[in-house]
Amino acid sequence: MLRLGRHEFGDDEALMMAIVNRTPDSFFDKGATWAEDAAFERVRLVASQGAEIVDIGGIKAAPGAEIDAAEEKSRVVDFVARVREEFPTLVISVDTWRAEVGDAVCAAGADLINDAWGGADPELVDVAAAHGAAIVCTHTGGVTPRTRPYRIEYDDVVRSAVDDTVAYAQRALDAGVAKESIVIDPAHDFGKNTFHSLEITRRLGEMVATGWPVLVSLSNKDFVGETLDLPVGERLLGTLAATSVCAMAGARIYRVHQVTETRQTVDMVWTIAGRRRPARAIRGLQ
């Protein structure tokens, strides 16, 4: 069983986490959901498409204008409260590495803290524990938040990802986060070059084998673009190919821009893998 705040899911469920950016400069949507009403329409859309989780972010991952905690909170806290009021059955995740922000959004109704920067703020686990929230424990190779990797090297990137995320999960557990509320994420592209992200994808089963539920964030990432030599906006098919590999390995949560396409891809792969029954199966039977 997976528990994300006030919501529970069976081990046979794959979950869609839809990205909602409260930023004016996100790499994919170029600020399309910067305005609050536009962001709220995005929430309505992905909820209607069947996303179980929305992941709200108030600061882009890439280098850019300095955004302090006060500004980040101004972008996400009231928005979380608004989403919580209208969508009581939706899991609300907030993409932040700051404990101060995590505390404020959990108080406003967030269920999950998605720490994309691998525990850069060690107090984040205490915040999750205090609020009964879930947490995503990522691997970034120790890079500073909002910096790009430069000639980073690993003896074995998958071993590093397993060791670091499991250690982070143990820290969360020790802080009082419930075991069923801890998720690990290899963090494709974060602290990695394209070859590292491809290796993580190829060997994702080693992360699944840890027993912790695995989240993957593949959507339109640079490793897809570089592999296929395609710009942002033309990476859907490559994203879905990588998604299929991760789905076969057993990833549980998929952080995505395109919910419907990813859901169909994951459902097909999970059914082939024997984890899900076909929606109907009448061929040759009637």
Q: What pairing do the DSSP bridges indicate for beta strands 2-4 and 7-9?
A: antiparallel
Are the C-beta atoms of residues 112 and 135 closer than 8 Å to each other?
yes
Please give the Cα distance from 181 to 162 (Å, whole number).
18
* In the chain, alpha helices (H): 36-48, 69-86, 99-108, 124-131, 157-175, 194-202, 205-208, 222-228, 236-249, 259-272
Q: Would you call 202 a catalytic residue per the annotation?
A: no
Are the C-beta atoms of residues 40 and 34 closer than 8 Å to each other?
no
Q: Would you call 221 a catalytic residue per the annotation?
A: yes
The region, left, alpha or beta by phi > 0 then psi within -120 to 50, assigned to residue 251 is: beta
Catalytic residue among 42, 98, 235, 255: 255
Q: What pairing do the DSSP bridges indicate for beta strands 134-138 and 253-256?
A: unpaired
Catalytic residue among 22, 60, 221, 263: 221
Residues that are catalytic? 221, 255
